[in-house]
Structure 1
Amino acid sequence: MFNMFCLRQHLNRTYLPKSFLFKYSTSIKPISKENEEHYEKELKQFETLTNITKRTRQKKSQRPPFVKNLLLGTFDTEILTFPQLEKEEVQNVEKETDNLGKILKQKHMIGANSLSNKNFRQNLSDVKAIGLQASQFLDGRESTPLEVMKYLQVFSEHRLGDSIIHHEQLGLQTLVKYGSELLQKKYLYPVIKGEKLLAFCLNENKINDIQGLNTKAELSKDKKYWILNGQKSYVVNGISADYLIVFALTDVVIKDSGKEVKLTGFLVEKDFQGVKWEKIEGSDIELANIVFENTEVPCENVIGEVNNAEGIINTIITDFRLSCGAACSTLTKNLINKLLNKILEDSSDNLELYKTQTERYKLGELAANLYAAESAAYLTAGLQDWYENQDTAVESAIVKVLSSEAAYNASTICLDAVGLSAVSKNHWTRTLHEKAIDYLTLYETNENQRLFIALTGLQHAGLSLAEKIKKIRNPLFHGAFTLMRAFAGQRDLTDDPKLNLGLKHYLHPSLGPASEHLEYGIKRLEFATENILSKYGLEVINEHVDLCRLANVIIECYAMTAVLARASRSYCIGLQNSDCELLLAAAYCNAAKDRVQKTVISLYSYVHKNIDQNVIDVGKQMTKRGEYFIKNPLTRNF
Structure 2
Amino acid sequence: MYLRSFFLRNSRNYIFYIQIEMNKIGQLSKFCLRKSPHVRASLCLPSETGSWLCKLPSPVLGSQPVRTIYVEDLPQSETPVIGSPTENRLKDINFPPFIKSLYCGEFNKSVLAYAEVVSFDRYYVLQKQVDQLKKFMEENKEIIDSIEERGVVPEQLIKKLEQFELTGLLVPRKYGGAELLKTEVMRLYQELGQSLTLAELYRINEMMCTRAIVLHGTEEQKQKYLEPISMGQIWTATCIAEKNAGSDPLSIETTGTLKEDGMAYHLKGTKTWVANAIRADLFLVFGQVNCHDYLGNDTINLTAFLVDRNTPGVEISKPYNLTALNGLQVCDVTLDCEVPVSAVLGEPGIGHDVYQSINHDIKLYMGAAIHTRLKTLLDKTIKHCHSRWQYGKKLAEYELINLQIAKCSSYVFALESMLYLTSGLADVGLKPDTELESAVVKEFAAVASDYVTKACMKILGAQTVLADAEWQRYVAESQVLNAWQGTSNVSKCFIGITGILSIIELKGEDIREYQKPKVSLRLAVPHQLNVNREVYKIFPKRYKIDENVHPRLGNIASQVDEASRRLHLMAEMMLKTHGLNIQIHERNLEILADFTMEVYAMICTLSRCSRAYCVGHQHSELEINLAIPFIAESKERTDRIFKDFMHMSNYEGFPDFFYMEAGEYIMKRGNYCPVNPLTKNTY
Q: Same fold (TM over 0.5)?
A: yes
Partner in structure 2 of residue 89 of structure 1 = 122
Counterpart CA distance in 1 for 2:134 and 2:515 is 59
Deviation (angstroms), 1:145: 0.3
Counterpart CA distance in 2 for 1:586 and 1:174 is 40
Counterpart CA distance in 2 for 1:544 and 1:62 is 33
Q: Which stretch shifts more, 161-170 or 528-537?
A: 161-170
SS of the residue corresponding to residue 280 of structure 1 reads coil
Q: Which stretch shifts more, 460-469 or 330-339?
A: 460-469
Post-superposition Cα deviations, 1:348-403, rounded to whole Å, max 9, x if no partner, equal 68133212222112111111111111111111111111222111111111011011
SS of the residue corresponding to residue 425 of structure 1 reads coil
Partner in structure 2 of residue 156 of structure 1 = 193
Is the CA contact (8 Å cut-off) linking 1:115 and 1:237 kept in structure 2?
Answer: no
The aligned amino acid for 1:162 is: E
Is the CA contact (8 Å cut-off) linking 1:247 and 1:265 kept in structure 2?
Answer: yes
2:208 to 152, 161, 170: 170
Is the CA contact (8 Å cut-off) linking 2:95 and 2:428 kept in structure 1?
Answer: no
Counterpart CA distance in 1 for 2:123 and 2:272 is 40
Deviation (angstroms), 1:254: 8.7
Partner in structure 1 of residue 26 of structure 2 = none
Partner in structure 1 of residue 241 of structure 2 = 203
Deviation (angstroms), 1:261: 4.6
Counterpart CA distance in 1 for 2:283 and 2:473 is 29
Structure 1 residues 413 and 259: alpha-carbon distance in aligned structure 2, compared to 1, 3 A threshold: farther
Structure 1 residue 551 corresponds to structure 2 residue 593: yes
2:271 to 224, 232, 253: 232
2:468 to 393, 418, 426: 426
**Structure 1 residues 460-539: aligned runs within 5 Å:** 460-470=502-512, 472-474=514-516, 476-479=518-521, 482-483=524-525, 485-487=527-529, 489-494=531-536, 498-539=540-581
Partner in structure 1 of residue 51 of structure 2 = none
Is the CA contact (8 Å cut-off) linking 1:115 and 1:121 kept in structure 2?
Answer: no
Structure 1 residue 330 corresponds to structure 2 residue 363: no
Counterpart CA distance in 2 for 1:392 and 1:360 is 36
Structure 1 residue 262 corresponds to structure 2 residue 301: yes
SS of the residue corresponding to residue 337 of structure 1 reads helix
The aligned amino acid for 2:262 is: K
Structure 1 residues 263 and 585: alpha-carbon distance in aligned structure 2, compared to 1, 3 A threshold: same
Counterpart CA distance in 2 for 1:497 and 1:590 is 22
Is the CA contact (8 Å cut-off) linking 2:153 and 2:328 kept in structure 1?
Answer: no
Structure 1 residue 384 corresponds to structure 2 residue 426: yes
Counterpart CA distance in 2 for 1:191 and 1:205 is 29
Post-superposition Cα deviations, 1:432-489, rounded to whole Å, max 9, x if no partner, equal 1212222221111122111111111111112333344345545744357545654554
Is the CA contact (8 Å cut-off) linking 1:322 and 1:397 kept in structure 2?
Answer: yes
Counterpart CA distance in 2 for 1:132 and 1:458 is 34
Deviation (angstroms), 1:419: 3.0
The aligned amino acid for 1:61 is: I
Counterpart CA distance in 2 for 1:190 and 1:132 is 13
Counterpart CA distance in 2 for 1:635 and 1:343 is 48
Counterpart CA distance in 1 for 2:93 and 2:212 is 24
Partner in structure 2 of residue 98 of structure 1 = 131
Partner in structure 1 of residue 448 of structure 2 = 406
The aligned amino acid for 2:177 is: G
Is the CA contact (8 Å cut-off) linking 1:128 and 1:139 kept in structure 2?
Answer: no
The aligned amino acid for 2:106 is: T
Structure having the higher helix fraction is: 1
Is the CA contact (8 Å cut-off) linking 1:376 and 1:563 kept in structure 2?
Answer: yes
Partner in structure 2 of residue 282 of structure 1 = 322
Count of residue correspondences: 584
Structure 1 residues 497 and 432: alpha-carbon distance in aligned structure 2, compared to 1, 3 A threshold: farther
The aligned amino acid for 1:282 is: L
Percent identical pairs in the alignment equals: 25
Deviation (angstroms), 1:114: 6.5
Structure 1 residues 475 and 157: alpha-carbon distance in aligned structure 2, compared to 1, 3 A threshold: same
Post-superposition Cα deviations, 1:214-237, rounded to whole Å, max 9, x if no partner, equal 111112222222211111111111
Partner in structure 1 of residue 96 of structure 2 = 64
The aligned amino acid for 2:481 is: Y
1:190 to 228, 232, 241: 228
Structure 1 residue 221 corresponds to structure 2 residue 260: yes
Post-superposition Cα deviations, 1:560-600, rounded to whole Å, max 9, x if no partner, equal 11111111111111111111112222122211211111101
Deviation (angstroms), 1:239: 1.7
Counterpart CA distance in 1 for 2:299 and 2:406 is 49
Q: Which stretch shifts more, 258-267 or 500-509?
A: 258-267
Structure 1 residue 451 corresponds to structure 2 residue 493: yes
Partner in structure 2 of residue 617 of structure 1 = 661
1:132 to 169, 176, 179: 169
SS of the residue corresponding to residue 361 of structure 2 reads helix
Structure 1 residues 184 and 388: alpha-carbon distance in aligned structure 2, compared to 1, 3 A threshold: closer
Counterpart CA distance in 2 for 1:412 and 1:193 is 41
Deviation (angstroms), 1:253: 6.9
Gap regions ≥5 residues in structure 1: 1-53
Partner in structure 2 of residue 36 of structure 1 = none
RMSD across aligned positions (CA): 2.7
Counterpart CA distance in 2 for 1:495 and 1:259 is 56
Is the CA contact (8 Å cut-off) linking 1:234 and 1:287 kept in structure 2?
Answer: no
Partner in structure 2 of residue 41 of structure 1 = none
The aligned amino acid for 1:531 is: M
Post-superposition Cα deviations, 1:503-551, rounded to whole Å, max 9, x if no partner, equal 1222112111121011100121122122211221134222212221121
SS of the residue corresponding to residue 303 of structure 1 reads coil
Is the CA contact (8 Å cut-off) linking 2:238 and 2:283 kept in structure 1?
Answer: yes
Partner in structure 2 of residue 3 of structure 1 = none
Counterpart CA distance in 2 for 1:439 and 1:617 is 29
Counterpart CA distance in 2 for 1:303 and 1:368 is 43
Gap regions ≥5 residues in structure 2: 1-85
Structure 1 residues 222 and 122: alpha-carbon distance in aligned structure 2, compared to 1, 3 A threshold: farther
1:374 to 416, 439, 464: 416
Structure 1 residues 489 and 91: alpha-carbon distance in aligned structure 2, compared to 1, 3 A threshold: same
The aligned amino acid for 1:126 is: Q
Is the CA contact (8 Å cut-off) linking 2:153 and 2:198 kept in structure 1?
Answer: no
Post-superposition Cα deviations, 1:79-106, rounded to whole Å, max 9, x if no partner, equal 2221222111111101012112223344
Partner in structure 2 of residue 435 of structure 1 = 477
